[in-house]
Amino acid sequence: MGGGGFMMAANQSLKNNRDKRRKKGKSFNGLASDVNEKTEYDLPKSSHYQLEKMKRRLILERKIRRTKIFIFVAVCFSILLFVFLYYV
């Protein structure tokens, strides 16, 4: 009966994953290795006004991008439709 090597590899993979979870334990703190360690960059604090301004700008950019995509798809679809009707 075939498949013995496949099942053995699957069992070994499950065992390795289980061991990794046990080793991780409580010492794992996400991406930072030490909780007290300072990051290498300091981001400036933003005021409520600046956050609202960025939000409005991102919404406007998203609307413009969505409009451009819609126009592009409409033009491509119309060209495809024209070619299809011309040759049929």
Determine the pLDDT at residue 27: 56
- pLDDT tens digits for range 16-50: 888 887 766 555 555 555 556 666 777 788 899 99
Q: Which of 26, 72, 15 is nearest to 7 (CA)?
A: 15
Domain boundaries, the chain: 53-88
Determine the pLDDT at residue 19: 82
Give me the DSSP letters along 4-47.
HHHHHHHHHHHHHHHHHHHHHGGG--TT-S-TTPPPS--PPP--
Helix (H, G, I), strand (E, B) or coil at 88: coil
Phi and psi for 42 in degrees, rounded to 5? -120, 110
Q: pTM for the complete prediction?
A: 0.47
